[in-house]
Amino acid sequence: MKWKKFTLKTTTEAVDYISSLFDEIGIQGIEIEDNVPLTESETKGMFIDILPELPPDDGTARVSFYLDDDDDAEAILKEVDEGLSELRQYVEIGEGTITASETEDKDWINNWKQYFKPFTVDHILIKPTWEEIPEEHKDKLLIQIDPGTAFGTGKHETTQLCIRQLEKYVKPGVRILDLGTGSGILGITALKLGAGSVFGTDLDENAITAVHENLEANGIPEEKFGVVQGNIIDEKEVQDAAGYECYDIAVANILADVIIMIQKEVPVHLKQGGIFITSGIIDMKEQAVRDALSQNDAFEILETTRQGEWVSITARKR
């Protein structure tokens, strides 16, 4: 299958904002190229033998996305254009030009794999299923992931923010609701941290296959992690399948606008005192999420954590 590749020339400063914008538009699978040198801790955490030689960082970046023949490229590009005009008011987006080229399916379905290497989040080692465990990390809590075409390698800041909150709140045997489960990485991490069971939902059908494959890769029995495709915000079937007032922790790493909607539904599924971990929130939308959670009598906000431009807010059901 032929894919059209669209490449936006922008600044490194704007990359997270653009990735959030593309998410909102429904563009999946973006590719980011820049010349920002890795930090010392990134270099230590990546376990790669040879670091690529990069030209000097000039502050520019390229963000690419792919559309196939079924996508309405004209309508999507119009939405991108409008989104970029709005973003310009908050952040320096640089040139903002988009160029189009054709590519083959295999380019983007598999190319990312060469950049996905084992890495650590605190005492947790996350590694692609196809890589060896680095000798020096054999003592770490191992999570093996192949996201396939679903979201969730663990590299994204928002996933790591959620993982750190799970480390804090998961106690032996707790029940977890994993909203926007993607590859299942958060639910699987919770199980490895001692949770008793997970129920996951996602709009993306690829998430169902990815979760099953990743459970197998991690030696976790399927009955520990139920997963359904659907939207808990407004589908009674999904709400019933999840069950009511039965979760100790709900985690939703989606998007600020979705968190604002989903937080109205989450309390009916949480036990009293249950914890709601949210992320996927770009900093310029933090206040809107905070306002929504504050206006919801069911919740009290416990803490806010940050990584780069991304935010996680954790609340408790009163």
Ligand X SMILES: C[S@@+](CC[C@H](N)C(=O)[O-])C[C@H]1O[C@@H](n2cnc3c(N)ncnc32)[C@H](O)[C@@H]1O
Cα dist from 136 to 13, 51, 132, 160, 292, whole Å: 34, 19, 12, 21, 44
* Cβ-based nearer residue to ligand X, 96 or 278: 278
**Does the annotation place 180 within a ligand binding site?**
yes
218 appears as a binding residue in the annotation: no
- Please report the sign of the dihedral spanned by the C-alpha atoms of residue 13, residue 156, residue 283, residue 169: negative
Which amino acid does the sequence have at 201? T
Pick the closer one to ligand X by CB: 31 or 98: 31
Nearer of residues 11 and 165 to ligand X, judged by Cβ: 165
**253 belongs to an annotated ligand binding site:** yes
Is 214 labeled as ligand-binding?
Answer: no
Least separation, in Å, of the C-beta of 7 and ligand X?
22
CB of 201 to ligand X, least distance (A): 5
**Closest to ligand X by CB, 87 or 145:** 145
> Please, what is the minimum distance in Å from the beta carbon of residue 261 to ligand X?
7
CB of 279 to ligand X, least distance (A): 7
Q: Which residues contribute to the site for ligand X (CB under 6 A)?
A: 150-152, 156, 159, 162, 179-182, 185-186, 201-204, 207, 231-233, 253-254, 258, 280
Q: CB of 238: closest distance to ligand X in angstroms? A: 8
Which residues participate in the annotated binding site? Answer: 159, 180, 202, 253
Which residues participate in the annotated binding site for S-adenosyl-L-methionine? Answer: 159, 180, 202, 253
